[in-house]
Amino acid sequence: MPYVLVFTAQYNRRAARFLKRHPDLRQQYLKTLQVLEVNPTHPALRLHPLRGKLDGLHSVSINLSYRITLELLIQDGQIIPVNVGDHNSVY
């Protein structure tokens, strides 16, 4: 089942800032979003639920240093990215 990525204006601003600071990660970032849309449970994404103040959100990896936090609504087939950045900035 294909999923739909739903981008909010707030996330788009965060992603634009992230890509401006890290233009070398653009291809990895886009590939992560493509894999996420096709198969959110793909092992390369390292999808996992978050706890504590981010309870209810999930995280996927762009690479070992950078993550995307997201709201995963499996029942509606929607994936809503929330934040993107390094480990400390998204958690």
pLDDT category, 73, cuts 50, 70, 90? confident
Question: Above 70 in pLDDT, residue 1?
Answer: no
Helix, strand, coil percentages, rounded to 5, for the chain: 45, 25, 25
Report CA-CA distances (Å) from 55 to 1, 10, 13, 82: 25, 19, 23, 13
Count, in order, helices (H) and strands (E) of the chain: 3, 5
Domain holding 51, by residue range, is: 4-90
State the number of CA atoms in the 13 A half-sphere of 8 facing the CB.
12
What pTM was computed for the model? Answer: 0.88
Residue 87 · residue 65 · CB < 8 Å: yes
Average confidence (pLDDT) over 19-24: 95
Tally the domains of the chain: 1
Residue 22 is part of a domain; what is its CATH number?
3.30.2310.20
